[in-house]
Amino acid sequence: AQSVAQPEDQVNVAEGNPLTVKCTYSVSGNPYLFWYVQYPNRGLQFLLKYITGDNLVKGSYGFEAEFNKSQTSFHLKKPSALVSDSALYFCAVRPGYSSASKIIFGSGTRLSIRP
């Protein structure tokens, strides 16, 4: 079965330190990979995506993600965390290339940045 795993329910980081939010996937073929962020009582905001090309993808708000095909991972990273980065983060995969293809979401990781 196709799936996305976010092994950490919560990640706690001090402001100014680097952060990593982990994601691995189990999908056949060459899927599209995404990270989204959700603030309380809001919809999801797109952060970044990997389609093809350079394994290091840069996105919004200073976030980046590294695609590793051999490990089927797509970890989200930021060199220096901000308190305002505290939110719920979702890794997602779209197995098919059509806009009608369903997106598979991970369970979410709550990122907490302490001052």
Partner 1 sequence: GAVVSQHPSWVICKSGTSVKIECRSLDFQATTMFWYRQFPKQSLMLMATSNEGSKATYEQGVEKDKFLINHASLTLSTLTVTSAHPEDSSFYICSASGDTEAFFGQGTRLTVV
Residues that bind partner 1 (CB under 8 A): 32, 34, 36, 41-46, 49, 51, 90, 92, 94, 99-103, 105-108, 110
Pick the closer one to partner 1 by CB: 45 or 112. 45
Report the nearest approach of partner 1 to the CB of residue 18 (Å).
Answer: 25
What 3-state DSSP class applies to 83? helix
Q: What are phi and psi of 61, to 5 degrees?
A: 55, 25
Q: Residue 43: CB partners within 8 Å, gap ≥ 6?
A: none
Strands 109-114 and 10-14: parallel
Pick the closer one to partner 1 by CB: 44 or 82. 44
Report the nearest approach of partner 1 to the CB of residue 23 (Å).
Answer: 12
Pick the closer one to partner 1 by CB: 66 or 108. 108
Task: Retrieve residue 19's tokens.
Answer: 């952060």
